[in-house]
Structure 1
Amino acid sequence: MEDIYKTIIIPSEETLFKEKGSKFFGYAYPVLSEEDVKERIEELRKKHHSARHFCYAYQLGIEKIRFRANDDGEPNNSAGMPIYGQIQSFEVTNILIVSVRYFGGTKLGVGGLISAYKTSAQMTLEVSDILKKTINIQYKLTFNYDLMNSVMRIIKEKNIEIVNQKLEMDCQYIISVRKNDSEAIFTIFDNLYKVAVKICE
């Protein structure tokens, strides 16, 4: 089972593609929600207040994918889908690609637009810092203080990330483990006497 995905964690540099006088400014942003998408597009509308079109595509999610492509006034499927095609081609998620067009006076036709928006998105992804990340599952461990050494030994041995810890009446750890290792790790803790382990929703 593949438990790795690709994304970006910082916005890309601005790219510029020119075609018959039209200018296409390309941007890539890391996003986790539709709210993030709206905010980024608003920022660009302020920055490029005299541009004609703000065409974009985004993809959210790792195992359950949501995506949208928007032509923003260009002919149907001539802008948003070519941009989304590049998101698929580079296999990235949790990403927004926007191509801002200034019309140069010469119509490009549908074929020309498809090619220009595809190139703009491709250039933007090529300058983006794309990272591979693992799909992780979080577990909550609850145990008494006398088990601290046993629990910590497993955490060190298995190189497990502790996301959060609460040390009050008892000890509570939130740990993050790679999906491919998650069942084995769950079993180890589940077999440890007096340690309660459950998955975090």
Structure 2
Amino acid sequence: MSDSEITGYTTVRGEHRHETEVRRSRFVAVVRRVDTEDGARQLLTDLRREFHDARHHCSAFVIGPDRSIQRANDDGEPSGTAGAPMLDAILRRVTTGGATDLSDLAVVVVRYFGGVLLGAGGLVRAYSDAVSQALDAAPTVQRRLLQQLTVPVAHADAGRVENDLRAAGTEVLGTDYLTDRALIQVAVPAGDASVEGFTARLASLTAGQSGAELQDLKWVDCD
């Protein structure tokens, strides 16, 4: 699926931590919302500094509405026993509505070795479980792609049209008053059908006197 076809996905709010212990090894999982690779690397840098005496700082991150950026690192654990299971725990996460659409987050699992070898299978389970439990505790937020539009109206009509649009369920972002007219800024769900539906409602509300000018597409958090 291309990025242009995606109109919504799920991410986490802020940063969250969860600690577990497996056969005396301590695992500290930290989940942080990020939207760039630099942001994900900053989390790793921060935790290497904070937990400077830990043996491993394994990481995984997924970025983009289409989850096009995916990275994982074992940081010295046997190949495939840490980073990959962490990444898989993110990708398999079922969110609102049964979707597996979690993105824009990085996870680092800090491990303090407890003296008991866990084996490959034990490491996979430990790192996967650490991420899953951290995600269980992290509140999520839905992101939607909105089409912004500008509605030019006469000064005298601005208040009425704005109120009518709100009453019809349209998200009104604000109104700019110029010398010769007012510009009502609105947002509707991205997609031709939504824009056409809004245009039809606008024509009805203004008796065909006002049109809508397309502006930018914008990703927004929705409560």
1:168 matches 2:178? yes
Residue 9 (structure 2) aligns with: 5
> How is 1:150-169 mapped onto 2 (pairs within 5 angstroms)?
151-169=161-179
C-alpha distance after superposition, 1:116-162 (max 9, x if no partner): 1001111101111123x252313130413244245314421232333
Check whether the contact 2:158–2:184 (CA below 8 A) recurs between aligned residues.
no
Check whether the contact 1:54–1:101 (CA below 8 A) recurs between aligned residues.
yes
Check whether the contact 1:190–1:196 (CA below 8 A) recurs between aligned residues.
no
Of residues 143, 158, 180, the one that matches 2:152 is 143
> How is 1:32-43 mapped onto 2 (pairs within 5 angstroms)?
32-43=35-46
**Structure 1 unmatched runs, 5+:** none
> How is 1:30-179 mapped onto 2 (pairs within 5 angstroms)?
30-63=33-66, 65-90=68-93, 91=100, 92-131=102-141, 133-144=142-153, 145-149=155-159, 151-169=161-179, 170-179=181-190
Check whether the contact 2:18–2:134 (CA below 8 A) recurs between aligned residues.
yes
1:101 is paired with a residue whose SS is strand
Give the Cα separation in 2 of the matches to 1:81 and 1:154: 52
Q: 1:37 to 1:156 in 2, by over 3 A?
A: same
Shift of 1:190: 7.3
Shift of 1:96: 1.4
Aligned length: 199
Check whether the contact 1:56–1:70 (CA below 8 A) recurs between aligned residues.
yes
TM-score by length of structure 2 reads 0.76
C-alpha distance after superposition, 1:52-108 (max 9, x if no partner): 211121112224632212222222221111111111222322121211111222332
TM-score by length of structure 1 reads 0.83
Give the Cα separation in 1 of the matches to 2:199 and 2:41: 39
Identity of aligned residues (%): 24
**Structure 2 unmatched runs, 5+:** 94-99, 218-223
Give the Cα separation in 1 of the matches to 2:103 and 2:33: 9
1:25 is paired with a residue whose SS is strand
1:73 is paired with a residue whose SS is coil
Q: Which is worse superposed, 147-156 or 77-86?
A: 147-156
RMSD: 2.6
